[in-house]
Amino acid sequence: MKFAVRTLLAILVATLAACAGLFPAPINIGDSEQDVIARRGQPEHRYQDGNDQLLEYSYGPWGQRTYMARIGPDGRVISFEQVLTTEKFASIKVGTSTKEDVLHTVGAPVETSYLSLTDLEVWSYPYKEGGVWNSVMHIHFDRNGIVRKMLNGPDMRFDPDRRFPFGGL
């Protein structure tokens, strides 16, 4: 009986630890940079944006969530938001936005590729369009690092007809 209770407690502790990873502690406006790092760990990337620092945190096995903490010159959180959204992508302007602008807006891409026929570098961002649809935004850059086009489409990793090329398991 004691073994069963210990096993049950071990499972409960492991489950709670997993939940803590899925639902990390909230970040509030006014928290210090040290508070953010204590709750979320070291950021994947850091960017300087004027006088502010941007700390980038990516989550999820499919890379569909990226949070950006904006830290002011006083070392305090100005904002903390999920940036892989339709609204954030809409703020990227074709013909004027640069790679640096894109990094500061939606963070680093999950994947990069190159289209030799059009001579464009492509950064790809999987996200939940409208919070519902599994989509990928592809941002195309010319040789000067200027956004030349943006294409959105379904994330084929979630297409059940394409997961198993030979008709299933």
Answer whether 52's CB lies under 8 Å from 78's CB: yes
- Establish if 4 belongs to a structural domain: no
Q: Please tell me the predicted confidence (pLDDT) of residue 12.
A: 54
51: Cβ contacts below 8 Å, ≥ 6 apart: 72, 73
Task: Let me know if residue 11 belongs to a domain.
Answer: no
pLDDT in tens, the chain (169 residues): 565 545 555 555 455 444 445 667 899 999 999 999 999 999 999 999 999 999 999 986 678 999 999 999 999 999 999 999 999 999 999 999 999 999 999 999 999 999 999 999 999 999 999 888 999 999 999 999 999 999 999 998 887 776 555 555 4
In terms of residue numbers, what domain contains 110?
84-169
Angle (CA) 136 142 145, round 5°:
90
DSSP conformation class of 109: -
Cβ atoms of 88 and 146 closer than 8 Å: no
CATH of the domain at 32: 3.30.1450.10
Global confidence as pTM = 0.80
Together in a domain, 164 and 89: yes
pLDDT at 158: 84
Return the structure tokens found at 55: 């700390």
| pLDDT on residue 24 | 76
**Assigned domain for 35 exists:** yes
CA 20 to mean position of chain CA atoms = 18
Establish if 70 belongs to a structural domain. yes
Q: Which tokens in the block code for residue 63? A: 């890379």
Q: Which amino acid is at 5?
A: V
| 20 inside domain | no
